[in-house]
Amino acid sequence: MNLPAVTSTLDLYMAEINQFAILSAEEEFRLAVRFKKYNDMEAAEKLVTSNLRFVVKIAHEYKKYGVKLIDLVQEGNIGLMHAVKKFDPYKGFRLISYAVWWIRAYMHNYIIKSWSLVKIGTTQAQRRLFFKLNQVKKKLEGLSRKDSAFKEAAELLNVKESDIAEMDLRLNNRDVSLDASMDDTGESMYVDQLVDQSESQEETLIKKEEKALVKKSIAGALTKLNERESYIVKHRLMVDKPETLQRIGDRFNITRERARQIEKEALKKLRTAIPYIEREPELTQG
């Protein structure tokens, strides 16, 4: 029994676009003029479909960057459509000669975005270096010292050695999923190597006991304060939004300055009752 061959998405796509005929120079010019003059969308569609196979050919040049070929083709097709929109048939050259720049630009942009979560190639010079460095490195494979290779590459590409070193590091260190296996056995994953930054059970227990002790100490200290002192501590020191001294003074029919003095006296009593209170906390004055 013969099983049917598995056909990839790209193979199906190629079978479909190969049905579109390649236009002659005269046909292409006529359609481009129709689109430019009359915004004829049917003409634009024929200009695009007749060049789709060229996009696939260009996409194959970037297989080494580890992105899905069909995704590159889709990006290149967007570049092709943009080129058709901008194409001027009266300049005397073929559409694909102009479109190739747009196709590559969209593919380059997609590759750089897919390469790493960290932004790379943010300037035109860096983008050029990203795609040229691998080509240059192949020419320099005979050099035994890495710094010598960087120096030669910098001279060939007319950039700094530090730029070569930085881009080489980025090219050789792709993002890795934490769920990815570290070896062929699949027993160890990168996530297993992460250091747990959370508190240990012992640290959590100690903090819980310390908090309970402080709470108990404060509760005991408050019993040594009179009504006004207790109110000021609770509403000035133990809340996120402390009351102003003026408002406290109005409540107890005293001046703002007298409220401040009472607050100071209350803090002295607290420091006596709770020795680890070393200084007065900073309060919002009011």
Report whether 69 contacts 60 (CB < 8 A).
yes
Q: Tell me which architecture the domain covering 205-273 has in CATH.
A: Orthogonal Bundle (1.10)
Mean of pLDDT values over 123-149: 57
Judge residue 79's burial from the number of C-beta atoms within 10 Å of its C-beta, 0-12 exposed, 13-18 middle, 19 or more buried.
Answer: buried
Going from N- to C-terminal start, the domains of the chain cover 7-115, 116-174, 205-273
Choice among 128-132, 167-171, 274-278 with the minimum mean pLDDT: 274-278
Decide if 22 contacts 50 (C-beta within 8 A): yes
> What average pLDDT does this structure show over 63-71?
86
Question: pLDDT confidence of 270, banded at 50, 70, 90?
Answer: confident
- The Cα–Cα gap between 104 and 90 comes to 23
The predicted pLDDT at position 3 comes to 41
Q: Which amino acid is located at 43 in the chain?
A: A
Question: In whole angstroms, what is the distance from residue 48 CA to residue 52 CA?
Answer: 6
Select from 116, 110, 123 the least CA-distant residue to 75. 110
* 174 CB-side CA count, 13 A: 11
Average pLDDT over every residue of 233-239: 80
pLDDT, tens only, 180-201: 555 555 555 544 555 455 666 7
Q: What percent of the chain has pLDDT over 90?
A: 33
User: Residue 161: what are its φ and ψ, rounded to 5°?
Assistant: -60, -35
Please state, in angstroms and rounded to a whole number, the distance separating the CA atoms of residues 65 and 74: 16
- At 140, is the pLDDT very low, low, confident or very high (cuts 50, 70, 90)? low
pLDDT at 239: 76
| CATH 1.20.120.1810 fits domain 7-115 | yes
- 154-167 CB burial, b ≥16 within 10 A, e <16: beebebeeebbeeb
**Residues near 165 by Cβ (< 8 Å), separated by ≥ 6?**
150
Look at 195-204, 215-224, 249-258, 272-281 and tell me which has the smallest mean pLDDT.
Answer: 272-281
